[in-house]
Amino acid sequence: MYDGGKIIAGIIIGLVLLTFPIWYTHGMAPKRPEVKLPEKEKKCVKDGPYMKTKHMQLLDLWRDSTVRTAKRIYVSEDGRKFNMSLQNTCMSADCHAKKSEFCDRCHNYTGVVPYCWDCHIAPKEEPKEKSEEMH
């Protein structure tokens, strides 16, 4: 192998540079986001693990059911009835009244920017919490 030393040294330097972000930030993983659960309402439309992983599918079904089939009431597994509405049910004063303490925490952490709020009006919050809303 011609210039073996240089090539191997190059590969090693390359590997070090490539893996730099991994070992440099090792052990400095940011804290997992903590969402603030509603104080009044203790039970969501479905159980927690389902909502954690599948809330987007549920919202999608709610949206199509409401807009396209005119069925607007959701009956949960334990028989409670909900108006299928992001703005008026999920984000109501009794439930997730603050977007910055619920939605934004995980979405910012995972770098997800859903476009719900381009149209849907997020609940009003105190101005000091506005800064957290900014990405």
In the complex, least distance from residue 11 CB atom to another protein, rounded to whole angstroms: 45
In the complex, least distance from residue 17 CB atom to another protein, rounded to whole angstroms: 42
Candidates 32, 40, 54, 124; CA nearest to 133 is 124
Residue 3 or 118: which CB sits closer to another protein?
Answer: 118
In the complex, least distance from residue 44 CB atom to another protein, rounded to whole angstroms: 14
The CA-atom distances, in angstroms, between 59 and each of 25, 69, 113 are 36, 15, 15
- Residues at the site binding another protein, with contacts judged by CB under 8 A: 57, 60-65, 67-77, 81, 83-84, 87-88, 115, 118-121, 123-124
Are 82 and 76 in contact, with CB atoms under 8 Å apart? yes
d(CA 97, CA 35): 12
In the complex, least distance from residue 31 CB atom to another protein, rounded to whole angstroms: 32
Residue 55 or 109: which CB sits closer to another protein?
Answer: 55
Residue 36 or 71: which CB sits closer to another protein?
Answer: 71
Count of C-beta atoms within a 10 Å radius of residue 70: 7
